[in-house]
C-alpha cells in the first residue's frame, strides 16, 4: 500500500508541474478541463461538464444518502511569472500564482486513491473541479448548473504561505472576508501646466480622495472592524506639461459582512463626491460587489479541524494567524448554499514557500499534496485501514 500511495503522490506532483507550466485564465480553462477529464476517464470515474470548463465527478454514486463534496479550483492569474523554475509558465502574462494548480492536482490524487477503495466509502462523494475562482464567480455558476445536487456538505482548502507548514486555520465562523471593488472618474478642466489656476485639476482631486479614503477605517468605521480600503490604481494625463481633463481611480474593499459593505460603499461615495467638489471637479462612482465573506459551519469546521489535528498533531492547529484573513474566496457561495468548511493550510516550511499568493515569485509547495490528499480521503469517509501508515 505504501508504494501505491507514493506512486500516486509522485504522479500528482508531476501533474501539478504540468498544470503550472500551462496556466489558463478564468473561464478559459479549456486545456485544464481536458486534462482533468482525461484523468477521470483513465480512472473510470464518471463525470460531466459543469458551467462550461468546470467538471463534476462522482464516486460511489449509487450509495444511499447525501454526498460529501470536495472542491479544487483550477484558474490562473494575469501575471508574468518570475520564479525561474523549470516548470515556469510558458504562457506569457498568465501564471498559477495562487496555487490552483496544486489544488487541482491534490483533488486528482484524492480521486485516484478513493477510486481504489470506492466500495469502502460510506456515502457518495462528489469531486468539484471549479473554474473562475479569481473574481469571476465560478462557484456561483457551478451551483447554478447543479454541482451541489444531492450534496449534503462540502469541504475545500487553500494553501497559505503566511502560515507555518502544515498548520490549519479552520475556524467555526468567518475564515475569509468578503470583497468588492470601486472605480471613480473625475472630470475637471484641463489646460497648461504653467497655469493651474485656470484649470480644475482632476489628478489633484483624485490624489486628495485617495488620502481621504484612508481615514474611513478608524474615523468613520471603528478600527476594530475587520475592514480594509485599498486604492490600487490612479490614471490620468498624456503629457508632462498638460493638466488633463479627466482622471480615474479604483480600488478594493474587504468586509466581514454585508452591513459593513453597505456603510463603506456609502462613505466612499460621500468622500469622493465632496472632496472632488472642493477642488472644482465632478466625480462619478461605481461599486461592484464580488464575494461575500466565507463563513464556515461550526459542525463541519470542527470535524475538519479535529481530523487534521488527529493526523498531524496538536502543533498543526493555528495559534498565531489572526482571523479572518482579509483575502476573499468564492467558496463562500457553497457555504451559503449547504453546510461545509473551508481551511487555510500553511505552506511555509523554510524552503522558500513563504512568498505570498499573487506574487510573480510564488510557487506551490508540493509537500502539501500528500498531507491534504490523506485529509480529503478521510473527510470522504475512508478509514486508517485504507491509507498507508
Do 312 and 372 touch, CB atoms closer than 8 A?
Answer: no
SS3 at position 157: strand
Measured distance CA(121)–CA(116) in Å, rounded: 10
pLDDT at 261: 97
CB-CB contact of 264 with 221 (8 Å): yes
Confidence of residue 113 (pLDDT cuts 50, 70, 90): very high
pLDDT digits (tens, 9 = 90+) for 119-134: 999 999 999 999 999 9
Dihedral sign of CA atoms 29, 31, 33, 35 in order: negative
Distances (CA, A) of 148 to 53, 91, 142: 16, 33, 8
Per-residue model confidence (pLDDT) at position 321: 82
Residue 158 annotated in ligand binding: yes
- What grid cell was written down for 36? 482533468
The predicted-structure confidence for 300-351, as pLDDT tens digits, reads as follows 999 999 999 999 999 999 877 889 999 999 999 999 999 999 999 999 999 9
pLDDT band (50, 70, 90) for residue 235: very high
Q: How far is CA 114 from CA 8, 107, 149, 308, 376, in A?
A: 11, 10, 20, 18, 9
- The pLDDT of residue 237 is 97
What was the pLDDT predicted at 389?
Answer: 80
**Phi/psi-derived region of residue 61, left when phi > 0, alpha when psi is between -120 and 50, beta in every other case:** alpha
192 assigned to a ligand binding site: no
pLDDT reported for residue 363: 98
Question: Can you give the pTM of this predicted structure?
Answer: 0.93
Cell match 501508515: residue? 389
The answer to the question of whether 319 is labelled as a binding residue is no
pLDDT at 224: 87
176-196 average pLDDT score: 97
Q: Do the beta carbons of residue 140 and residue 147 sit within 8 Å? A: no
Residue with cell 484523468: 39
Instruction: Output the pLDDT for position 151.
Output: 98
Report pLDDT for 318.
84
98 known ligand binder = yes
Average pLDDT over residues 102-129: 97
Q: Is the pLDDT of residue 260 over 90?
A: yes
In this prediction, residue 354 carries a pLDDT of: 97
- The residues that bridge with 231 in the sheet, in sequence order, are 251
Residue 92 burial (CB < 10 Å; 0-12/13-18/19+)? exposed
Average pLDDT for the chain: 97
Domains in the chain (CATH in brackets) are 1-177+293-386 (3.40.630.10), 181-290 (3.30.70.360)
100 in a labelled binding site: yes
Mean pLDDT over residues 13-20, rounded? Answer: 98
Residue 200 pLDDT = 98
| Residue 1 pLDDT > 90 | no
Cβ neighbours of residue 156 closer than 8 Å, sequence gap 6 or more: 70, 71, 72, 331, 334, 340, 341, 342, 343
The stretch 367-388 carries a mean pLDDT of 96
Amino acid at each position: 500500500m505504501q508504494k501505491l500511495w507514493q506512486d500516486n503522490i509522485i504522479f500528482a506532483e508531476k501533474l501539478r508541474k504540468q498544470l503550472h507550466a500551462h496556466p489558463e485564465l478564468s473561464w478559459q480553462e479549456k486545456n485544464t478541463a481536458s486534462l482533468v477529464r482525461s484523468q477521470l476517464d483513465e480512472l473510470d470515474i464518471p463525470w460531466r461538464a459543469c458551467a462550461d470548463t468546470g467538471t463534476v465527478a462522482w464516486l460511489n454514486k449509487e450509495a444511499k444518502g447525501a454526498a460529501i463534496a470536495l472542491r479544487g479550483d483550477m484558474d490562473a492569474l494575469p501575471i508574468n511569472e518570475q520564479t525561474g523554475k523549470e516548470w515556469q509558465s510558458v504562457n506569457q502574462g498568465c501564471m498559477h500564482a495562487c496555487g490552483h494548480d496544486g489544488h487541482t492536482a491534490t483533488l486528482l490524487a484524492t480521486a485516484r486513491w478513493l477510486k481504489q477503495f470506492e466500495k469502502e466509502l460510506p456515502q457518495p462523494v462528489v469531486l468539484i473541479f471549479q473554474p473562475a475562482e479569481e473574481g469571476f464567480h465560478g462557484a456561483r455558476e457551478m451551483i447554478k448548473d447543479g454541482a451541489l445536487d444531492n450534496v449534503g456538505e462540502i469541504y475545500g482548502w487553500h494553501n497559505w504561505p503566511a502560515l507555518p507548514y502544515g498548520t490549519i486555520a479552520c475556524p467555526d465562523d468567518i475564515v475569509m472576508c468578503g470583497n468588492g471593488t470601486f472605480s471613480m472618474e473625475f472630470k475637471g478642466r484641463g489646460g497648461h501646466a504653467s497655469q493651474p489656476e485656470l484649470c480644475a485639476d482632476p489628478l489633484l482631486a483624485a490624489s486628495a480622495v485617495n488620502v481621504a479614503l484612508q481615514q474611513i477605517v478608524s474615523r468613520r468605521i471603528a478600527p476594530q472592524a475587520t475592514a480594509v480600503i485599498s486604492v490600487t490604481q490612479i490614471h490620468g494625463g498624456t503629457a508632462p506639461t498638460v493638466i488633463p481633463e479627466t482622471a480615474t481611480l479604483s480600488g478594493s474593499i474587504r468586509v466581514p459582512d454585508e452591513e459593513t459593505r453597505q456603510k463603506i460603499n456609502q462613505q466612499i461615495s460621500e468622500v469622493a463626491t465632496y472632496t472632488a467638489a472642493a477642488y472644482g471637479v465632478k466625480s462619478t462612482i461605481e461599486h461592484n460587489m464580488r464575494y461575500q465573506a466565507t463563513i464556515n459551519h461550526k459542525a463541519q469546521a470542527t470535524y475538519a479541524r479535529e481530523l487534521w489535528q488527529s493526523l498531524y498533531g496538536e502543533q498543526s492547529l493555528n495559534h498565531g494567524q489572526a482571523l479572518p484573513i482579509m483575502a476573499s474566496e468564492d467558496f463562500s457561495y457553497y457555504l451559503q448554499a449547504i453546510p461545509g468548511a473551508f481551511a487555510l493550510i500553511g505552506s511555509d516550511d523554510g524552503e522558500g514557500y513563504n512568498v505570498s499568493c499573487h506574487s510573480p515569485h510564488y510557487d506551490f509547495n508540493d509537500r502539501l499534496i500528500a498531507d491534504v490528499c490523506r485529509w480529503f480521503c478521510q473527510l470522504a469517509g475512508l478509514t486508517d485501514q485504507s491509507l498507508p501508515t
